[in-house]
Structure 1
Amino acid sequence: MNPVIGIIGGSGLYQVDGLEDAVWTAFDTPWGAPSDDLLIGTLGGTRMVFLPRHGRGHVQTPSTVNYRANVAAMKAAGVTHLVSVSATGSFREDMAPGHFVIVDQFIDRTFAREKTFFGPGLVAHVSVADPVCPRLSAACAEAARQGGATVHEGGTYLAMEGPQFSTKAESHLYRQWGCDVIGMTNMPEAKLAREAELHYASVAMVTDFDSWHPDHGNVQITDILETLHGNVGRAAAMVAALPGLVGASCGAGCATALDHAIMTAPDARDPDMITRLSTIAGRVL
């Protein structure tokens, strides 16, 4: 089966240039509407689906983004490989503003979001020990390099609730934990992508040094936006290079994550939940 690439664009990335026969298409899901319509077209002969995470015009906060609807809409649109592109702060001197980090681990410090498609009447526990697809992540790294970015492969993403930035004490604490970048949107997105059996990769575009760096002062939105504008061009080039690099399967079990995850006995499953989850978990239900 040919891959269908989904792109969730973070701050500054609100469209994908170069899509052929592109149409903004409305979707609804059992969890409500996604952040915006989905832009569906082809790029390099590959079907591609784009969704601005915060909506066009940036109308959703990190906490009000409907993460379940976003991932469910991508799944309903046929997406098999989902790439998250997001702006982040950095906790490392060598991961400087303008660099791209291909995230491979997360620490989830969010607390005001729905984090699973499952629930009473249909309970499931998926593994997120290795939360990203290694093959898709490698493709993103190569595509980003082709797009002119300085790329770091591997990094731990601290997901904070927001919308405020970190205090200095928090910033220093997260550095002590061994975190590499900080953002507000990759959780629960990554967990939901795993429940939806999607290949998932996270590309962090560094915009600042959070508030720990003694020579760079506190995080200012004006500085972030200036760096972000430069990153967007490199992100667009990365997306354009992806179709030729993404393979159909990774061999890491992304597409079979639900094989042993559902705990509720078949005769105890809520019929309404089965219907609700038909798009997400229909393969195993």
Structure 2
Amino acid sequence: MPQTCIAVIGGSGIYDIDGLEGADWVSVDSPWGVPSDQFLTGMLNGVKMVFLPRHGRGHVYSPSTVPYRANIDALKRLGVTDVISVSACGSFREKMAPGDFVIVDQFIDRTFAREKSFFSAGFVAHVSVAHPTCPRLGEACETAARETGITVHRGGTYLAMEGPQFSTLAESKMYRESWGCDVIGMTNMPEAKLAREAELCYASVAMITDYDSWHPDHGEVDVTQIIATLMGNADNARTMVSRLPDLLGPERAPCPHGCDRALEYAILTAPEARDPALAAKLDAVARRVLCPREDA
């Protein structure tokens, strides 16, 4: 049976994970560019783990410049099966307070300056992102968070904005009141879409740092307060992650929701019409459908 390999993509304030056996930072070459950083690999409770600091150690990438395609492609090359995104977010809901975690299950993508797909002219594919996160992974994250003592909310819509500036008051009110969003962040898109194209299960854990600018008692976003809350969230996130191997186990059964088979009927370009250069770049992302015998 295939083995589980859990990747954690850490957001602001999370630049490593604790307790890895045989921990080693490794470089991965990708045809999609240079990833955000090296990858921290190791074993945790008998399960292979991979960690990537999304913004790079030292926080060198802005949300718009994170090399999302290179990151996801490299995780696929490392044998990752499950991706846990951990990121700082603002809240649009009173009940979702700073310090709480939200297990996101929907997105509204308002980003506009990022490459959002591995596929393009010469090799066309359309995957479904109707349900962009994996419920199985989300359940594991919720359980791990509750065992850690974190206040966690299951389900929520994440507004992905381009940034790097925070929202205007008018935008914040629109996202909250008219669009029904629950949290706001800058990094889960196109990450979640690319993970689906790469047939990786993906879960998003939003760590709330503030109430954005809509809240009448909190006013505009205060970066100093965000950083203070962020540090506490980071400690909780590392503890949460440490519980995931026991919950997911070392043996990887097929995803009951089909995340690992997202490309099954998605590729539309006929084999003889495919751009060979693009097909070569897809050797990791689409290996299962391009080389089924080799991937068996």
SS in 1 for 2:171: helix
Q: Which residue of 1 aligns with 2:147?
A: 146
2:170 counterpart SS class: helix
Q: Partners of 1:83 and 1:226 in 2: how far apart?
A: 23
Rounded Cα–Cα distance in structure 1 between residues aligned with 2:173 and 2:56: 32
Cα deviation digits, residues 194-217 of structure 1 (max 9, x gap): 000000000000000000000011
Q: Which residue identity lines up with residue 94 of structure 2 in the other structure? A: E
Cα distance, 1:273 vs structure 2: 1.5
The CA distance in 2 between the partners of 1:235 and 1:279, in whole Å, is 29
Counterparts of 2:215 and 2:40, CA distance in 1: 38
Q: After the TM superposition, which of the residue ranges 157-166 and 238-247 deviates more from structure 2? A: 238-247
User: Is the aligned partner of 1:92 residue 2:93?
Assistant: yes
Residue 214 of structure 2, aligned match among 206, 212, 215: 212
Contact 1:103 1:157 in 2 (8 A): yes
2:83, 2:279 → 1: CA distance?
24
Equivalent position of 1:48 in the other structure: 49
Shift of 1:121: 1.0
Cα RMSD (Å): 0.7
| Distance in 2, Cα, partners of 1:232 & 1:282 | 34
Give the structure 2 partner of residue 191 of structure 1: 193
Match for residue 258 of structure 2 among 217, 228, 253: 253
For 1:284, the equivalent position in structure 2 comes to 289
Q: Which residue of 2 aligns with 1:182?
A: 184
Matched, 1:271 2:276: yes
| Structure 2 counterpart SS, 1:79 | coil
State the match for 1:233 in structure 2: 235
Which amino acid in the other structure matches residue 278 of structure 1? D
For 1:197, give the aligned amino acid. Answer: E
CA–CA distance in structure 2, aligned partners of residues 27 and 165 of structure 1? 33
| Equivalence for 2:267 | 262
Q: Is the 8 A contact 1:23 1:41 kept in 2?
A: yes
Partner SS state of residue 64, structure 2: coil
Task: Choose 268-277 or 172-181, whichever is displaced more.
Answer: 268-277
Contact in 2 for aligned 1:136/1:250 (Cα 8 Å): no
For the Cα contact (< 8 Å) 1:146–1:237, is it kept in 2? no
TM-score (norm. length: structure 2): 0.95
Q: What is the CA distance between 1:250 and its match in structure 2?
A: 2.9
Query: How high is the sequence identity, in percent, across the aligned residues?
Result: 67
Aligned equivalents of 2:219, 2:15: Cα separation in 1 = 29
The size of the alignment, in residue pairs, is: 285
SS state of the match for residue 71, structure 1? helix
Q: 2 CA distance for matches of 1:270 and 1:63?
A: 28
Paired residue type of 2:62: T
For residues 185 and 14 of structure 2, what CA distance do their matches in structure 1 show?
A: 15
Could you tell me how far apart the structure 1 residues matched to 2:107 and 2:144 are? 22
Aligned residue in 2 for 1:33: 34
AA at the equivalent of 2:280: T
How far is the alpha carbon of 1:122 from its aligned partner?
A: 0.5
Structure 1 stretches of 4+ with a deviation exceeding 2 A read 247-250
Give the structure 2 partner of residue 57 of structure 1. Answer: 58
Take 1:205 and 1:87, find their aligned partners in 2: how far apart are those partners?
5
Partners of 1:272 and 1:62 lie apart in 2 by 28
Matched residue SS, 1:41: strand
Separation in 2, partners of 1:237, 1:146: 9
Match of residue 160 from structure 1? 161
Deviates more, 1:208-217 or 1:243-252: 243-252
Partner Cα separation in structure 2 for residue 274 and residue 55 of structure 1: 28
Number of the residue aligned with 1:68: 69
